[in-house]
Amino acid sequence: MERTLLLIKPDGVQRGLAGRILGRFEDKGLKLAGLKIMRISADLAARHYAPHVDKPFYPGLVRYMTSAPVVAAVLEGPRVIDTMRKLMGATFGWKAEPGTIRGDFSNSTAYNLVHGSDSPESAEREIGLFFQPGELVEYERSLDSWLISEDDA
């Protein structure tokens, strides 16, 4: 089963949207495999956003991500990366479609509430930054048989 990292960014936590955002993913049938609230250190932010180090927005991004707690989660399910990114919506809240998390809760370029891995390779790397192997839980849900067909597995 595919896994991905979700970060509810400082603006999402400060605005009290963490539960509502997590609920959107659970409502879609995605399963939580790990969950924690934490402060991101400057070192962790630098490792996480290393691909963007030479971009002009990088210093502000690190300041933003280290400014307040985030909620880190690992979600799993068939095609979880694509599914989660569709639910999140376009990167800039003012461009995101209504019905998406960013489209419903953000009108900002900088404060866009959530981060989700963009590929299986990124997901593996990012999950390893935020979670130790023992922090992730594997379990069966009785409702999975109603959410995941043989075509999805």
Q: Of residues 11, 34, 115, 117, which has the active-site annotation?
A: 115
* Residue 9 to residue 72: CA distance in whole angstroms: 9
Segment (H or E) for 123: helix 120-130
Q: According to DSSP H, which parts of 10-143 are helical?
A: 10-14, 18-27, 42-48, 58-65, 80-88, 101-105, 120-130
Residue 36: phi and psi, rounded to 5, are -160, 155
Nearest to 114 by CA among 84, 95, 88: 88
Distance between CA atoms of residues 10 and 66, nearest Å: 8
Active site residue 115: yes
Which amino acids are annotated catalytic? 115
